Amino acid sequence: MMSTTGGGDTFQDLIVLYCSYFSYAPDGAEKRLQIILTPVNDIILRIHRLETQKAITEGTSKNVGLFLEADENTQRDLFDQPQKKKTTRAILYGFFDIIQSVKNDHELVLYCLAHLDGILEDDRERIEHFVALSKDYKSPLPVIKILNQYIHQNKYDECAAHRDIASHILALMIEHEKYEECQQPAREFLAYLMQQQDPKQFSLSMNAYTFALMTILKTNDLAKEFSTRHSFTMISKLLDNECLNSYQVSYNVLCMLWILSYHDFTTEYFEDYTMAIIEKVTKVMDYHSKEKIARIMLMLFDNLKEMEGCQDHLSEIDALNLIIKLQNRHWVDEDINTMLENLYSYFEENQKVYSSIEKFKKQVQRKQLRWGPCHTEKFWQENAYLFDNSDNLNLIKILVNECLSSRDDTVKAVTCFDLGEFSKYHPTGKRFLENLDIRMKMTELMGDQTVSAEVKKEAITCYQKLLMNSYSANSNALKTGM
């Protein structure tokens, strides 16, 4: 079996080629070629030189060399044959000893990290060998601690690839190890990730950062520690930007949210309208149509529909319409089709609840309006008569006096639509709005250069409806419950 580099050269299917960094980094092909073209004898000689300087353990060059000089089949046998566990341990011990001890040869350390990550990505069941190093009764090696310290200590730009690969291995090890056995370094690594502020200045690439979080948050204690307003605000920002630029980053973030949605301590953040997590998740599908993205989004929705506060969100984004659109696509994965059928049944059954006057009240009182079942012509046809009630008329006052001046253009646009429909379908709606100086407010929005095109469009449409006669009280479309 052969592998081809980005430059068209063909190499043996060596384990190192599976290093995760090579698949996503802008310089991944360059780093891969650099490692492949580095003569193995040169690497072994450099390791031997470090041995003679007593910088690393004696015998490292022999053990690591045994692996590096082997062909692809022998490399795999060294890790997959039970009778070779002792040799496996010696090889891994040598690689990690170099990472821990060598400070001035960044090229050699990268070479070792890439091979370790390739070993895992070729077959993740080999993680057992990595974890076993820390449990060796003769000379245990604290691998998780070594990787964590390496990431914290090597902050130079030239070590960017090193940090990415080290974080990838570290995250997989934390996921596999018992939390009690790695609590301190695991918490330190989580703190390191949570301290990242500006995505443009992260010390890890976006792929490495989101993969690490997605992986270690499978540990319940770490998920709880991560779940803060600051963390979810960062996720919200990623959904706005980085997720739209990379389907893999999108997948990592959605998977992270799916994992967190199993915990009660995250409910308040999913329900938070200022973060708009649920709304932003749906927008990802406008940018990426891959099945893995659709699958994880549907799995997330399946969890969120059980949370009462999130049901409002799902209704406001018109989840039923989204499901129908996805059903019209062709999906190879039958699991996606099954989930779509189940979610369609659920949302269709609850459609009346989602479009009720009570839902409308909650949205207006929160002043967080979003397009959905409560903001359609059908809703106003069926519910306009209820606005003879003074409490409900107060909702119209909130729309005019507060929602129209919102900083959120979507809130303004939806408000314009609702006011236009109220004037159309309520017999005295037009007169009520004129007493609130509604035409002047619509005129101001139409001439406002700072609002979106959507707001101007809805303002113009609302103004046109105000100029028309009110919908007849005797119309069959309006329930005569006044």
Q: In the prediction, which pLDDT does 373 show? A: 80
- Where do the CATH 1.25.40.150 domains begin and end in the chain? 358-467
Instruction: Tell me which of 446 and 310 has the higher pLDDT.
Output: 446
**pLDDT: is 357 or 384 the higher one?**
384
**pLDDT score, position 371:** 83
Kindly report the average pLDDT of the chain as a whole number: 90
pLDDT of residue 11: 52
pLDDT tens for each residue of 31-57: 999 999 999 999 999 999 999 999 999
pLDDT of residue 246 exceeding 50, the answer is yes
pTM reported for the whole predicted model: 0.80
What is the arithmetic mean of pLDDT over 340-367?
83
- DSSP assignment of 99-148 equals HHH--S-HHHHHHHHHHHHHHHHH-GGGHHHHHHHTT-SSS---HHHHHH
Q: What is the pLDDT of residue 401?
A: 94
358-467: CATH topology is 1.25.40
What's the pLDDT tens digit per position in 100-117? 999 999 999 999 999 999
Span 57-103, pLDDT tens digits? 999 999 999 999 999 999 999 999 999 999 999 999 999 999 999 99
Percent of the chain at pLDDT exceeding 90 = 76
Band (354; pLDDT cuts 50, 70, 90): low
The CA distance from 126 to 159, in Å, is: 26
Span 410-424, pLDDT tens digits: 999 999 999 999 999
What integer is the mean pLDDT of 197-216?
94
Q: Which two tokens stand for residue 87?
A: 């040799």
* CATH, domain range 227-354: 1.25.10.10
352 pLDDT band, cuts 50/70/90, is low
